[in-house]
């Protein structure tokens, strides 16, 4: 715990000492959102290009050093198997992501997502691990656009809707924005 406090103190001190773009941010707290699309394994074991989720996020971003952010997404769908009643399904996705800057702009990232699919037919929980590369484009002193590409590995899990074991991977594209709160 002491190491975490020391790291945060050092990070905040570095922010006060140097400028990030044209204006020094007092604290690196961000909020924003990311549109995530993928090509490969998607929910219900579909394998094509499609919208995966829209994730609001919150985190800490130190320009020139890296970031840590947390995102949560929720959505509902209706699934209609052949000759069976409709199944309403809700998805809950919690993502934590860590990025390490490669200068001012590009960064390497690693992400971990815990996904839950809840329905009357059965509940499914699985994990995803991603590695990728991203960059941000500063729009002003308090806003930036982010663009990322990552390889996502979906760990093996049993899906009662499909009555089979599912695993796979996808290439995921993330596009979004962040706003420095303070």
Distance of CA 47 to the CA centre of its chain: 20
SS3 14: helix
Q: How far apart are CA 56 and CA 35, in angstroms?
A: 9
pTM of the model: 0.75
Kind and range of the H or E element at 11?
A: helix 2-17
- Domain 27-180 grouped into CATH 2.40.160.20: yes
Cα end-to-end distance, the chain, whole Å: 24
For 58-101, write each residue's pLDDT tens digit.
999 887 888 999 999 988 877 777 777 787 888 888 999 999 98
Residue 152's nearest CA partner among 114, 112, 108 is 112
What burial class does residue 141 get, using C-beta atoms within 10 Å of its C-beta: 0-12 exposed, 13-18 middle, 19+ buried? middle
Q: How many residues does the chain have?
A: 182
Domain chopping of the chain, boundaries: 27-180
Res 162: pLDDT: 66
Banded model confidence at residue 121, pLDDT cuts 50, 70, 90: confident
């Amino acid at each position: 715990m002491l190491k975490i406090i020391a790291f945060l103190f050092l990070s905040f001190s570095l922010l006060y000492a140097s400028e990030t773009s044209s204006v020094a941010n007092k604290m690196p707290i961000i909020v924003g959102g990311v549109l995530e699309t993928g090509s490969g394994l998607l929910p219900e074991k579909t394998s094509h290009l499609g919208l995966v989720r829209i994730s609001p996020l919150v985190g800490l971003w130190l320009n020139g050093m890296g970031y840590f952010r947390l995102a949560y997404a929720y959505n509902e769908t209706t699934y209609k198997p052949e000759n069976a009643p409709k199944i309403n399904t809700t998805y809950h996705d919690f993502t934590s992501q860590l990025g390490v800057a490669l200068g001012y702009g590009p960064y390497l990232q690693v992400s971990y997502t815990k996904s839950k699919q809840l329905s009357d037919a059965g509940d499914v929980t699985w994990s995803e691990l991603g590695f990728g590369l991203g960059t941000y484009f500063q729009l002003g002193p308090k806003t930036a656009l982010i663009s990322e590409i990552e390889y996502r590995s979906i760990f093996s899990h049993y899906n009662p809707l499909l009555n089979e074991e599912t695993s796979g991977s996808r290439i995921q594209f993330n596009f979004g924005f962040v706003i420095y709160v303070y």
